[in-house]
Structure 1
Amino acid sequence: MRVLGISAYYHDSAAALVVDGHIVAAAQEERFTRKKHDSGFPDHAVAYCLDAAGLSLTDVDYVAFYEKPFLKFERLIETYVAFAPRGFESFRMAMPLWMKEKLMQKRLLSEQLRRRDALPADVLDGKLLFSEHHLSHAASAFYPSPFREALVLTMDGVGEWPTTSVAIGHDHRIEVTKEIHFPHSLGLLYSAFTYYTGFKVNSGEYKVMGLAPYGEPRFVDTIMSNVVDVKDDGSFRLNQDYFNYCTGLTMSNDRFAALFGAPVRSADQPLTQFHMDVAASVQAVTEEIVLRLCRSLRREYGLSKLCLAGGVALNCVANGKVWREGIFSDIWVQPAAGDAGGALGAALAAYHGNFEKPRVVTNELDAMSGSYLGPGFSQPEIETRLSSVGGRFTVLDDDALIDETVQALIDEKAVGWMQGRMEFGPRALGGRSILGDPRSPTMQKTLNLKVKYRESFRPFAPSVLREDVQDWFDYDDDSPYMLMVADVAARHRKTMSEEEKALFGIDKLNVPRSTIPAVTHVDYSARIQTVHKETNPRYHRLISRFKERTGCPVLVNTSFNVRGEPIVCSPEDAFRCFMGSEIELLVVGNCILRKPDQDPKLKLNYETAFELD
């Protein structure tokens, strides 16, 4: 059975193809259109998934959409009625779109899918299925996991009604047992603080998480006493007196700003210690809610394994706290935990849930193939594509390629690394990455300011050989998707002077804290990616060779893009980013491109090429 999954029309549109229960392909639309968080119908992603399997739309048995539009419309109407007459302006703005498109989504989906091949109107009759939003998330987390039975916790902004849901996964069945409903939402709470600190909602939440260690959580009591009421079991309610997302066009209101004593920060205003303290506070509250939920659910259901999905599951600091406390024996997080992953979940929910198809639990890491589910390019394709955009390259054999790349890293050069299939989800995992030497005390600042063109405070992640992770971090488990945070091991830390300890805020940034300062955050933490020979042998080999040369089995790994740009997909994308930034070496397949060899006329200015995220 062939099931095509689709998520679209909110943010991070995507498509995924499941054939007989096997995940064949999955990709976000933004990677093809080059429009960050593209919410439009995923034409390109659908075409890629079908082409990857050698199929046409007529070969697909079912198409599954990741949520139910009528239930979302019901929420919109009931929310307006509950808050009326407040909220009329947002209601008035939403209605035309709903009446024109979203209530007719079945017809719209059919038209969009048929358009590419000009297929007849009845080609999808009986083939369109609709999953519920949180069920799609839960399915994306449980079905690819290595667990036969697990608790499944989904936390996000909002789907139709649920914002937090609990399900039990067993073999090929998922049963939702508990829900917290809109407007009470952990995701929307975090997004309100994202908005308040001047970052873009549904995009900048990870910046708040990265900013938090620079601050002190001095507003925790203020938040817990006024904004959110949290029970011992982790259930919560938001005080709507401080929010505007039900009745207006912003996340928070003037009363919210008055509570914290400062207006909403605009994007062009500097970050101050106040904003860092606010970020630290909402992060601490989020962690406390997640921990209480996990403790109570472990006690109630007695299940030892946990699966996580939904946008809040991308909060790898909170995930790391749950792991460190040992609440569950095993934790698995869907790498595309946000709405893009809903496309995959919808397809899997249809295959296993709607049609009762059996599930095979793999003996490998999981069923995600390392999340390398996007487009890949053969060596001849790479050479043709690079030549077409004017790239000047040398083709090397595998050994020479690895050796030259390692030497460039040792020389503290920024390396663009494009190999194999593109990653599905927001993290670069060694398929579409910019790499650096973690031992360099200047690498973090250099990559942020000269390569990524982004805020200097943002941390970088370490890629570490799975077999060496315990020697370098306070962590001994799999973290293939960069969704767990743990501290750098004590033996690799550097003792700070009293003067350095007294520093506040961004002044902490330039103090080396370990022997791998480029991937050590100001609180000694790191967002770990364990690299496995089974899923990415070339990347594993590169790090292994770097270890042979330096004694360090770790590389800096950040996504291959500049700020505001989607991660690169094709060799042409990689070359443009290479020529538009200060990346010094580009490695695509077996092609090596050195910056001095390139035609200077092809240099681009990527610093202002994309809308800031």
Structure 2
Amino acid sequence: MYHDAAAALVRDGVLIAAVEEERLNRIKHTTKFPSNAIRACLETAGVTPADVDAVGYYFPESYLDFMLNGLYVDNPSVPARYSRQLVKDRLSRDLGWELGDDKLFFASHHRAHAMSGLARSGMADALVVVLDGMGEDCSGTIFGAPDGRLETLAKLPMHNSLGLLYMGATRHLGFRFGDEYKVMGLAPYGDPAVHRAVFESMYTLNADGGYDFDRHALSLDYVGGVFLAHGLPPRRSTDPVEQRHKDFAAGLQEMLERIVLHLMGHWSRSARYTALVFSGGVAHNCSLNGAILRSGLFDEMFVHPASHDAGTAEGAALLAQETLAGPVRRGERLRSASVGPGLGGTHTIERQLAAWEGLIEYERPADLVDTTARLLADGAVLGWAQGRSEFGPRALGHRSILADPRPAENRTRINAMIKKRESFRPFAPMVVSEAADTYFELPKTAADYDFMSFVVRVRPEHRRTLGAVTHVDGTARIQVVEPEVNERVHRLVARFGELTGTPVLLNTSMNNDAEPIVQSVEDAVTCLLTTELDGLVVDEFVVRRRPGFLTALDDLVPRLRPVTRLIRTAKATSSGGSVVFHEIVLDYATGPRAAVSPEMFALLERADGVATFAALAAGTSTEPLRTELYALWQRRFFSLTPAPVRSAEPGRSPRRPSGD
């Protein structure tokens, strides 16, 4: 698999369920086969593999087999199996699904991107632009979509990849794969003029709307090489972010916007489309999307909430349906991204919360929205988990952290104490539709503000008021909440407005820096217990940590993750002896590692997923081990979960904590 593995289920062109594998295996940008995601989609829809007419994959079969050839040449011990058989084998092994060859379809990568965006746009005629790192044969594709049919107008060569260029620049700034959004957030702190001449020397704009980079631009070291020659060496991840790095990010963002506006300006004029569907990884650059809106090139614009590679799962499914049954029916525009797995029914959720009773207390208030709004108005920072999870990289009111958007110190507090991330990272405002134009400058181009896809300007008179969500350049990545799309969240923001005079909330994803966005009740409670959130609202319940909850870790069960590895290494010393080092590692690309004490190493070696921490630690000094255990849990090296509850009366719910 490639990065951002996902699964989606469609029926007659309608998106029934979709979820990224990372939400379930808890590995950011996972490359693992999406077996958990497939299972979750089937369960959400209440269907079995026997009910599925076709399976789509988001790259052509010949391209995948070509890539596999290189793997087998470099790794002669790996058995040579090709893409069709690999997919069928994984479905058989993980889900007991014996898929016939006649039901497995492979699709063009960019066509899958385009199809998912177009199908959810509600548009009958549009220009569809896909820009990302690369597809099988190009780095971008321009489609026309007369009457909803995708027609290829142009392809951009690999060496002109804006996605790979931005990725290389992200690497030069000391960030990792998937951190491009950090660079986007850093750019407003810089001056694009400082490095403008260097960036302009790297490309040319052509009269036909095209552009050209140097042929070496396909290398991830290209940007680094250019800027090293101009006196800006790469930043190491442990180095501070300095003004020169901010200026570099600003120049990069300016270059991206200039090139894309040049490209889209040409095609809007020559193809005479007034509507735009934008997809591919580059379409998640919200600052760029805001620039397109303000340009006035189009009357209407749509960006799919999962425009990155996860969204091609849906596109591949739609293309498979089209192959079997003809053109996909175009429906209304997608308004809610909450098509992932749910939390379960209220009674099920209450039983799950009760299992954590030694560490948390909870209540079910008569008016959940009013209670939550008052807590937020009083300064609380809350996790908020409701219903089905969102498809895509952003929490939109179903797996969110919410806070008062007015105090600027909330931005620093949440970044440092909860998200554990860089201080320059901005947060998004969630605003009721009735007040959106009052607080924000919305361009004339019609757009889908449901998914945090666009950066717009905060009106000058409200920038100080919205101190926690207004970026340094006076902009914000806006989410407009409509009552018909998310009634409970709309009521919450409106009620907060009644209490404070500001119908806006700070909204960011519920997770810390060690994990993807939470999916389940267990994930949400774990986030509460391992961060400095003031509380958690899950379904109908308000949840808080118990005072002194750390001592109750003794009753939790440590469970090593499938990717957890315990490594003992002996190294010789100069005196002829040896020193033994103990480490815990998450075994995947970019997985973290940490040194652990010999006592903790031995305890985790004994962890069987049944014994509690207290039982495993018997006979040792518990206090220092508990502190070490908690620090490792915060980094998600393993899970800690309640021991199974034995009920005296079958079917009866476990006892509920006091404070009901």
Please indicate, yes or no, whether the TM-score normalized by the shorter chain is above 0.5: yes
The 3 A distance-change label for structure 1 pair 73 and 43 is closer
Secondary structure at 2:261 match in 1: helix
Structure 2 distance, partners of 1:62, 1:99, is 33
Q: What's 2:300 paired with?
A: 330
- The share of aligned pairs that are identical, in percent, is 38
Structure 2 distance, partners of 1:348, 1:151, is 19
Letter in 1 for 2:196: V
**Equivalent of 1:53, from 41, 45, 51?**
45
Matching of residues 528-543 of structure 1 within 5 Å: 528-543=478-493
Matching of residues 55-70 of structure 1 within 5 Å: 55-70=47-62
Structure 1 distance, partners of 2:199, 2:633, is 37
Coordinate RMSD, CA, aligned: 2.3
Q: Please give the per-residue CA displacement for 1:269-323, whole angstroms capped at 9, x wherever unaligned.
A: 1111111011000100001111111111110111111001100000010100110
Structure 2 distance, partners of 1:73, 1:224, is 38
Q: What's 1:447 paired with?
A: 414
**Equivalent of 2:153, from 159, 163, 177?**
177
Answer yes or no: is the 8 Å Cα contact 1:531–1:539 preserved in 2: yes
Alpha-carbon deviation of 1:254?
Answer: 6.2
1:260 partnered with 2:238: no
1:162 partnered with 2:173: no
Alpha-carbon deviation of 1:352?
Answer: 3.3
Alpha-carbon deviation of 1:252?
Answer: 3.5
Q: Which moved more, 1:430-439 or 1:234-243?
A: 234-243
Structure 2 distance, partners of 1:468, 1:55, is 41
Q: What's 2:187 paired with?
A: 212
Task: Flag the structure with more relative contact order, 1 or 2, with Cα contacts below 8 A and sequence separation at least 6.
Answer: 1
Alpha-carbon deviation of 1:112?
Answer: 0.9
Structure 1 distance, partners of 2:240, 2:199, is 23
Structure 2 distance, partners of 1:447, 1:359, is 43
The 3 A distance-change label for structure 1 pair 407 and 232 is farther
1:272 partnered with 2:242: yes
Matching of residues 491-530 of structure 1 within 5 Å: 491-493=461-463, 514-530=464-480
Q: Which moved more, 1:260-269 or 1:414-423?
A: 260-269
Q: What's 1:195 paired with?
A: 171
What is the count of residue pairs matched by the alignment?
Answer: 556
Q: Please give the per-residue CA displacement for 1:20-65, whole angstroms capped at 9, x wherever unaligned.
A: 2111100000000111111110010000011111111121100000
Q: What's 2:86 paired with?
A: 108
Matching of residues 74-89 of structure 1 within 5 Å: none
Q: Please give the per-residue CA displacement for 1:175-205, whole angstroms capped at 9, x wherever unaligned.
A: 122111212201011111001000002x110
Matching of residues 290-309 of structure 1 within 5 Å: 290-309=260-279
Alpha-carbon deviation of 1:261?
Answer: 1.0
Structure 2 distance, partners of 1:528, 1:313, is 15
Answer yes or no: is the 8 Å Cα contact 2:65–2:83 preserved in 1: no
1:359 partnered with 2:322: no
Tell me the TM-score normalised to structure 2 length: 0.80
Alpha-carbon deviation of 1:599?
Answer: 2.8
Q: Which moved more, 1:597-606 or 1:400-409?
A: 597-606
Q: What's 2:529 paired with?
A: 579
Secondary structure at 1:433 match in 2: strand
The 3 A distance-change label for structure 1 pair 556 and 419 is same
Answer yes or no: is the 8 Å Cα contact 2:209–2:267 preserved in 1: no
Structure 1 distance, partners of 2:315, 2:25, is 23
Q: What's 1:6 paired with?
A: none
Structure 1 distance, partners of 2:222, 2:89, is 38
Q: Please give the per-residue CA displacement for 1:138-197, whole angstroms capped at 9, x wherever unaligned.
A: 001101112111110000000101211111224442112211121220101111100100
Q: Please give the per-residue CA displacement for 1:95-141, whole angstroms capped at 9, x wherever unaligned.
A: 44699579601101011112234345xx4230000011000000011
Q: Please give the per-residue CA displacement for 1:537-569, whole angstroms capped at 9, x wherever unaligned.
A: 111110010011111111000000011310000
Structure 2 distance, partners of 1:339, 1:144, is 16
The 3 A distance-change label for structure 1 pair 260 and 94 is farther
Q: Which moved more, 1:470-479 or 1:266-275?
A: 470-479
Answer yes or no: is the 8 Å Cα contact 1:479–1:530 preserved in 2: yes
Answer yes or no: is the 8 Å Cα contact 2:72–2:80 preserved in 1: no
1:42 partnered with 2:20: no
Answer yes or no: is the 8 Å Cα contact 1:414–1:435 preserved in 2: yes
Q: What's 1:129 paired with?
A: 105
Unaligned runs of 5+ in 2: 554-629, 638-660
Q: What's 1:569 paired with?
A: 519
Q: What's 2:395 paired with?
A: 428
Q: What's 2:213 paired with?
A: 238
The 3 A distance-change label for structure 1 pair 584 and 97 is farther
- Structure of higher CA gyration radius: 2
Unaligned runs of 5+ in 1: 1-8, 78-90, 246-250, 494-513
Q: Please give the per-residue CA displacement for 1:326-348, whole angstroms capped at 9, x wherever unaligned.
A: 11011000110101001011111
Structure 2 distance, partners of 1:253, 1:554, is 40
The 3 A distance-change label for structure 1 pair 384 and 17 is same
Q: Please give the per-residue CA displacement for 1:558-599, whole angstroms capped at 9, x wherever unaligned.
A: 000011310000000000010000001100000111234673
